[in-house]
Structure 1
Amino acid sequence: MESTILKTLARTANIRRWLRRPECPEAVRQLKVLFDKSFVPANATSETREFVERKGARRAYAKYDGVTFSGVATHAGNASIIYRPTVNGASVAGQIQRMEDVKTTNGFIVRLHVRPYQRLSKSLYDPFRRYPHFQATTYSSLLEDTVHQIGLDDIVAHAARFDYSHGRSVFVNLSRE
């Protein structure tokens, strides 16, 4: 690992030195200008020498109540949740599409963009309904087109999801209570 780090630092220094030389091709210099405009280092300072935060609004994951949640692109297993889309509404199963930090007057809050799973039609049998103490519910394996924006406190529990037959998935509530 140490040799990899050392090689990377040496290569980076060589590229920087080469880009600063007068014989560097003009096309490469123009690419460097575009690159520098697009990717500002995280510790860059402004002209006034004040630190400028360059962190974006998107998040890869969020921890809440001892549980790690993430968007489906980051970790599909941590993206399945049981949540309440409205304050006093019934809980539904959903998949976190993405997360973002939203600035408020009191700081930042995490906003989740969640697509709910489609409910099963009444004609399909839910074998887990007979076992009320086993917190499992069957949903369609398909997501709805709507996206709910919720906060971390709207999550009821993390969920385990298993596709078992005919476009149906079982969701098991992983609540620690």
Structure 2
Amino acid sequence: MTVNRSSRPKTISMPDLRFVQNVIANTTTPSWVYHVPRNFGEKGAGTPKADEWRLMSTIYLPIALTLLWAEMTGDHTAHFSPLLDHSMAIFQAITIACRYTLSSARAMAYRVFLQQWLGDLHGLYPRMKTPRTVTNPHVALHIYDFMLLFGPVLSWWAFPTERLIGELGKVNSNDHLGGQHEATLLNTWIRGANLRRWINRPNCPAALLEFYRLFTVVLGIKLGDKPEAGRTDTKTADSSPANYHYDGVQYSRSGKHLGNSLVIYLQSSGKIDAGSIEEIVVDKQQEGVFKVRRQAPLPEGKNDPFMRFPHFPAKRTRQQ
């Protein structure tokens, strides 16, 4: 793909950057989604970390650029439309790579999007000097093979290891060299991992569970505090609490925390809808029921710019 350089407009102008920053500031997210700098793109924001780039690529930039470029009118429409498709190709690839579940179809879509992004890179950005044969794009293409071998990327990516290295770097070694310090850290880590594994097993010995209970009471440290799948860890006498924990996720009424109230749910008809939790009702068995305000579909004839990007899970609605 080639473009005419003679009348090429600026890809991101200062007003466009301000729009991206407004999207960051005004997008409602769950409490477990970390924040990114609201002055993203400015010198004062510093160098974005890897996790901040992940959030920008899977939430904020796709929303901002789609709203900016998908419905653009005027002389530059033909210029920005392929730029949007190109940007959304890499964003959809990253979104697939960050999903909790994976299939062969999703893995194939990841590779197709990445190939599309690499193939159109120099045609759309002719001044870019980075060749397509550098290491990072080559390795990124091989992630497809690793997806087929090992499943979802988050189950084998290096972020937990990097975080562990950062924590280990803070440990005082008293200048012990020759492997003694490293061996102590490794053995301690293995013992802790084995203990956590035993505590979370359904056939954990009663004596070990009792020691764990005492350990938790005295030190306030939990080693196996994740509830069983499909179970709630909410314990409340309030029949209409503001928050409800289920399967490791916190849900809230919209009046308490709007981000934690936004849900996607399956209707009895099989249709998938989005909405916000307006009320939580908990019975004596601590089973919760959510009363949800549905997000109404767009009016007839109103365009949803996100429909053209099937692997970016967003759609435009209006509140009902």
TM-score (norm 2): 0.25
Which structure has more strand as a fraction of its residues?
1
TM-score (norm 1): 0.45
The structure whose RCO (Cα within 8 Å, separation 6+) is larger is 1
